[in-house]
Structure 1
Amino acid sequence: MATPDTRTQLLDAAERLFAERGFRGTSVRAITDLAGANLAAVGYHFGSKAELLAAVVRRVVEPINAAQCARLDRLLARTSDPTVADLVEAFAGPLFDEMPGGDEGGARTSRLIVTIITDPAEEARTWTGPSEVAVRDRYLAAFERALPDLSQEELWFRLRGIIAVTAVDRIQVYQNPPASLSPVAGEAARRWAITYLTAAMSAPPTGT
């Protein structure tokens, strides 16, 4: 097996540390020490710590976004009016696929997603690009058609909830596996999540 190049080692180290410590709690020196690289390597390969964070997050998120777009394409090819449950499955399914329960890599991805949702650092809120915006807008438009009584703001709130609920669940499953439950519980979590999140997305508009 080929040894990872320096850029990949930096990405791997940064993903682990950003997920554990957040953006401000992770120093460039800590990243380069863990990667076994010299201190100037982050600047050489990425330009800055902020650009390294963006590269780390995109490496994690792009496969999820691509799968979400592909599922939405297949869904809309079958029907122009998909149900809320079908849309939730198309959006949430790739999150479960990329964050399998009981897997360290899946848990690390989950922690990173929670970090970029909750990290107060400005750099954690400015990594997105056109591809992430396009996925958001496509799903918002599809949910708007399925749930015309909801405002776009409330729809986006609920869509963010899908991401948060899924990510937190994946972390909990890895870190605190319920010993008293059978392995079937883990396999069923995806179905439970789709049922729960469909109900949450379909709830009546919140009164003012």
Structure 2
Amino acid sequence: MELMKTWVEGLDKTLGGLPTKSVILMLGEPGSGHDLLAKQILYLHALRKGKSVYFTTLKSDDILRENFADRGWKLEDLEKSKKWEFVDLRSSKSTQGFREKSSSKVREGHWTLLDSLSHLLMRQKLKQAFGIIEALLESSRTHGGVHLLILTKGMNDPRTEIAVQEFVDGVLEFVQLEVGGGINSRIRIKKMKTIPVPKLIPFVITQQGITVETAVRI
């Protein structure tokens, strides 16, 4: 199976990349880094001459641009060169068109990010929301790419969270462990085509984003 580079420091060395033709769930509590890594992967893909589309159900394009700029992630040139695009899904009408819009972008070779699936599940009937995921899965099988969904733990009922994890191709769960008065952050690879067993990966959050630690600290 072909693996695609994320260009995230340490992550490709640890995992070899992410499998193409896959829909991957980024799961975690607020502040755990699950949403940050999703955005970082999408940005670095566009920066490395790929094409990326960011579907937002929560924040306006302008606020997101400010958030990216705070990390030193510059979008202006990427947007001008059509390497990056925001799609606003904050209205219910826009949400209804997500299936068609996302399928079109995947056909054109874009990687996609839905921010957030949690919010979409709160606004849509479960059957409709899963129909959207299913359409994304079908498009990815045909046209390839890596497609990310952000799910914040606790925003939806546990049965829905489990069902989503069962449905997608991969699940990266972000956990924070209290150790000796400090916090150790880990990515738990709960499910991935290329990883036969669950795996824990240490990481740190910096101003520039997430860095995966490839050496054990003494």
**Shorter-chain TM-score above 0.5:** no
The structure with the larger Rg is 1
Structure having the larger proportion of residues in strand: 2
Please report the TM-score for the alignment, with normalisation by the length of structure 2: 0.24
Structure having the larger proportion of residues in helix: 1
Higher relative contact order (CA 8 A, sep 6+): 2
